[in-house]
Structure 1
Amino acid sequence: MKPSHLHAVHANESAAHGSVRSYTIGLLLSVALTVASFATVMAGTLSAHVAIALVVGLCVAQLLVQLVYFLHLGTGPGQRGNTAIFACTGLLIVIVVAGSLWVMHNADLNMMPTDMSIERARAKD
């Protein structure tokens, strides 16, 4: 490889990883969202349902800031593969969590009540 080609590779590499400006914006947004969540709970002026909804909304915003500014997930041509892998991972997590909750719910429904004796449970069959 020619030295000029190596320089071009390193220039593209640093651009793909973000700049000091983008990291600073991400940091400031993260701190602002964290302070807003903390202030929402500590102020105590909102009802519990509204406070929970607001904190969840701020949490989703924080997640998006982290993904865009620090993990560099985006819709650009170079990021589509990473975004697709992230989406598949999220889908698998949703499937595993939902499946686990479904299994636990059905196990709870089919459990023998604690006040029923084994003989009485056998007699029901």
Structure 2
Amino acid sequence: MSASTDHADGELHAHSGGELHAHGEEHGHGSKKSYLVGFALSAVLTAIPFWLVMAAPLANPGLTAVLVILLAIAQILVHTICFLHVNTSGEGGWTLLAYVFTGVLLLITICGSLWIMYHLNTNMMPGMMSAQVGAAP
């Protein structure tokens, strides 16, 4: 197939290898190396939290929880970069912007839920819990 010289947006054109691509489409597919690095990092970032929880090498459970959460965030970033190929150059940065927007919504939802649950627990009527315990058979 010959390469098309008319490159209107959205129009398909052939490359020398016979592959059809839309104009402006970039090759964002990862290499074998990036997939293997992503797989290795994912395996390590899964094994470490498993070990932290099962072996309990840290005496403080709060510190263990913080480490597990940080490793989970690192794993999200590894998956995003190595497998989903989200970067600033893909689709003019719109993919990255959508990803950041999703993260902000997730953060608002989690923080708002924790804030509401904390204040509901703190602001409950003082005698309500003790009255229920005293009335139990």
- Partners of 2:34 and 2:82 within 8 A in 1: yes
Aligned residues: 114
Q: 2:26–2:90: 8 Å Cα contact kept in structure 1? A: no
The superposition leaves residues 73-119 of structure 1 with CA deviations (integer Å, 9 ceiling, x where unpaired) of 11225361011111112212222333344444444555444239xxx
- Bigger helix share: 1
In structure 2, C-alpha distance between the alignment counterparts of 1:14 and 1:20, rounded to whole Å: 18
In structure 1, list runs of 5 or more residues that go unmatched: 117-125
**Aligned equivalent of 2:54:** 42
Any runs of at least 4 consecutive aligned residues in structure 1 with deviations exceeding 6 A, and if so which?
A: none
Q: 2:81 maps to which residue?
A: 68
User: RMSD across aligned C-alpha pairs, in angstroms?
Assistant: 3.0
| Aligned-pair CA distance for 1:38 | 1.6
Give me the TM-score of the superposition, normalised by structure 1. Answer: 0.68
Q: Is the 8 A contact 1:73 1:79 kept in 2?
A: no
Which has a greater percent of strand?
Answer: 2
- Which segment drifts farther, 83-92 or 43-52? 43-52
Offset at residue 19 of structure 1 (A): 2.2
**Which residues of 2 match residues 84-123 of structure 1 at below 5 A?**
84-108=97-121, 111-112=124-125, 113-114=127-128, 115=131
Letter in 2 for 1:88: F
Scaled by the length of structure 2, the TM-score of the pair is 0.63
**Higher RCO structure (Cα 8 Å, ≥6 apart):** 1
What is the percentage of aligned positions where both structures have the same residue?
35
